[in-house]
Amino acid sequence: MQRYSLCALDELPEPGSKGFDMDLGEERVSLFVVRRDNEVHGYINSCPHTGVALEWVPDQFLDADGSFIECATHGALFTIEEGKCVSGPCAGDRLKPVRLSVDNDVIYWLVD
Ligand code: FES
């Protein structure tokens, strides 16, 4: 397993989100992390509706009150904890999760 450093935990507001474009050799992966209630969740940055990136401006993946992940294109809302779409054209679909770990206040992406 590979471990890639993403950012320090305190670079994320509570609640807050941050996006990353990672180069894995010839593959480029766009993902984001969300911090809320002292937990960190991560997903591939691709809406299950059309596959576009979710954010409306850089690092802004949450709705106005920080309760849900929101797709900027058609407004789908996803739970932060499970990435499940609860409102919008892809209701019932899920964001693809990524594995994270937090070690010494640094967030890492874990890749098999
Ligand atoms: S592309 Fe995300 S809701 Fe349509």
Mean pLDDT of 84-112: 97
β pairing state of 27-36 and 106-111: unpaired
- Which residues have a Cβ under 8 Å from the Cβ of 30 and sit 6 or more positions away? 19, 20, 21, 22, 44, 45, 46, 53
Domain ranges of the chain: 2-111
What is the 69 CA–ligand 1 centroid distance (Å)? 12
Residues linked to residue 70 through DSSP beta bridges, in sequence order: 77
**What is the pLDDT at residue 25?**
86
Return the DSSP state at 95: P
pLDDT at 56 over 90: no
Q: Which atom of ligand 1 is nearest to the CA of 48?
A: 2
CATH architecture of 2-111: 3-layer Sandwich (2.102)
**What is the pLDDT at residue 38?**
87
What is the 106 CA–ligand 1 centroid distance (Å)? 31
Ligand 1 pocket, mutate which of 70, 73, 78, 86 (most atoms under 8 A from CB)? 73
Residue pLDDT, tens place only, 41-51: 999 999 999 99
What is the 105 CA–ligand 1 centroid distance (Å)? 33
